[in-house]
Each structure stands twice: as structure tokens, then as C-alpha cells.
Amino acid sequence: MAARESALTVGLGAALGILVALPALAATASGLSQATGAPLGPHLHLPTLAAAVLGSLTLTVAASTVTTWRTRSRK
């Protein structure tokens, strides 16, 4: 249960983080496009994004699992 809650938290955090970053990326791309005269658009490097999300997921699930295990083993 704790691992599922942690995974849901990471998923929501990743989605909200991307939604917050997209307007800034679009504004930067628009400014660069106007300055250079070349067509540019927002670009996300998907392998880096996936590595960040998977790393966060791994650490979060591990931390919640260890904490739950330690709490249950004390009883």
C-alpha cells in the first residue's frame, strides 16, 4: 500500500512538474525563435526526463518500503 501511494505521488509530481515547466520552455523557445528568425519549439529530452522520474520513483518506493518494514518489525 505504501509503495502504491509513493508511486502515485511521484506520478502526480512528475505531471505537475512538466505542466509548470512547459510555459517557461515555450516562452524561451518563442524568444529564441524571434531573436534568431529560425523556427524553434519547446523540446524535452525524454531520456533525461525518464531517468529523473524513474530515479525519483525508485528512491521513493524504497524509502517507503523500508520505513513500513521497520515500523512493522518493531511490533
Distance CA(20)–CA(11), nearest Å, equals: 14
Domain with 34, as residue range(s), is 2-73
Give the model's pLDDT for residue 18.
92
pLDDT tens digits along 23-46? 999 999 999 999 999 998 888 899
Average pLDDT of the chain, as a whole number: 91
Distance CA(42)–CA(66), nearest Å, equals: 39
Q: How many domains does the chain have?
A: 1
Give the model's pLDDT for residue 75.
67
Give the model's pLDDT for residue 10.
93
pLDDT band at 3 (very low <50, low <70, confident <90, very high): confident
